[in-house]
Every structure is written in structure tokens, then in C-alpha cells.
Amino acid sequence: MCRLIETIRILDGKAENIFWHNYRFNASRLKLFGQTEKIDLGNRVIVPEEFSTGEVKCRLIYGASIESIEFEPYILRPVKTLKIVTDNEIDYNHKYLDRSTIQSIFSRKEDKDDVLIVKNGFFTDSSYCNLAFWDGKQFHTPTTALLKGTKRYKYLSENILTEKEIRTDDLKNYREIHLINAFMDIGRSIVLVKNIS
């Protein structure tokens, strides 16, 4: 059976955005493994003393139940350029531990820092982030995201993001793309549209 991963940002010993991690974790366990008993990750993620300060990555691997929980310092990978790559067959609607499909697409980035994945003419995600398109007034995120991320859920619930179908032809209507994930808030990793090809 497939294994999944939940990656949680720990800041100064505290797990962030745990509500939405719980939501995705338990929804995946229900859909893929038929597990109806909910687990509160807030009670399972116990941060070791050596990781109680600074920004830390918690990697939680699971199937029907939690298999392992690991901690390591988080290092931000700068992304300033994106390569548009089309893959009309990709399916990544759960956060699978096996990322070979994503890695295959990432290998096509050429001289860019990351890829901007397009499926059936619509923007989806980068190789490890959801997308927030900025038009100078508001942020849009693709309705066609491959994986509905925890930070994406949070921003949608707070009306910071609005879902929208974004075709490749629509890119000219935006100034920037902000990459968002558990570790990256809007504004932390910004790619100018002129640096996308």
C-alpha cells in the first residue's frame, strides 16, 4: 500500500498550522485506508530539545497509522526562475512519499530553479509548492492545483487567496508568482513573471 508524508514547520519548538495538517492527514487516511478514527498530530509531534529553537522540518511518514516522525533543520532553497513544463497525465492529489513522478518533471527544468507544472493547459503547482499569482491587486491560486496544500487551505479560509482557473495564456495578466507551502508564506519566495519561460 502507498505511504504518505506530512511535512510540518516547527518554529521555536511549536508546530505551525496544525489544524490544516490534521485535516489533510486524516482525510487522506480515511480516503486511502478507510481509517475513521482521527488522530491529532498536535499530540503526536513532540519536538526534541535539540530542535526547540529556530526553523525545523518535521517529516511524518504514515499509512493507516503513523510509521515515523523525524526532525531536521530547515534550509530554504531559493527559487528565482521557473520553467513551464507540461504533463497531462500527472496525478498527485495526496502527499505521497514516492515523488518519482514529480522528480521526473523537475528534471526537465533545464537552467531554471524549478518547474511550473501545466496540465491540460492549466497551471497547477511547482515541484514542491502551491502557487499564488499576484496581479497587482489580489492573489489567485489555481483551482487545478495538483496537491491542495496546508498553507493554501489556510490562505483560502482567510480570504487572502481566491481560487481561479489560470491558463497558460493568462500568465501575462500577472506580475509575480509567490511559491507557498508549509514553510513559505506569501512573500518569502517570489518569482517575477519575466523570469518564467
The predicted-structure confidence for 67-119, as pLDDT tens digits, reads as follows 999 999 999 999 999 999 999 999 999 999 999 999 999 999 999 999 999 99
**Does 50 have pLDDT greater than 90?**
yes
Three-class DSSP category at 114:
strand
Taking all residues of the chain, what is their mean pLDDT, rounded to a whole number? 97
CATH class of the domain defined by 82-195: alpha beta
* Predicted pLDDT at 137: 97
* Predicted pLDDT at 98: 95
* Predicted pLDDT at 15: 97
* Predicted pLDDT at 29: 97
The residue assigned the cell 481509517 is 35
What is residue 98's DSSP assignment? -
The burial class, CB within 10 Å (0-12 / 13-18 / 19+), for 195 is middle
The predicted-structure confidence for 138-184, as pLDDT tens digits, reads as follows 999 999 999 999 999 999 999 999 999 999 999 999 999 999 999 99
Those residues with Cβ within 8 angstroms of residue 7's Cβ, 6 or more apart along the chain or in another chain: 57, 58, 59, 60, 95, 181, 182, 183
Domain boundaries, the chain: 4-73, 82-195
In terms of residues, how long is the chain? Answer: 197
CATH number 3.30.470.10 given to 4-73: yes
**Does 52 have pLDDT greater than 80?**
yes
d(CA 106, CA 135): 26
Determine contact, residues 26/42, Cβ cutoff 8 Å: no
Percent of the chain past pLDDT 70, that is, above it, reads 99
Question: What predicted TM-score, i.e. pTM, was given to this entire model?
Answer: 0.95
* Predicted pLDDT at 1: 61
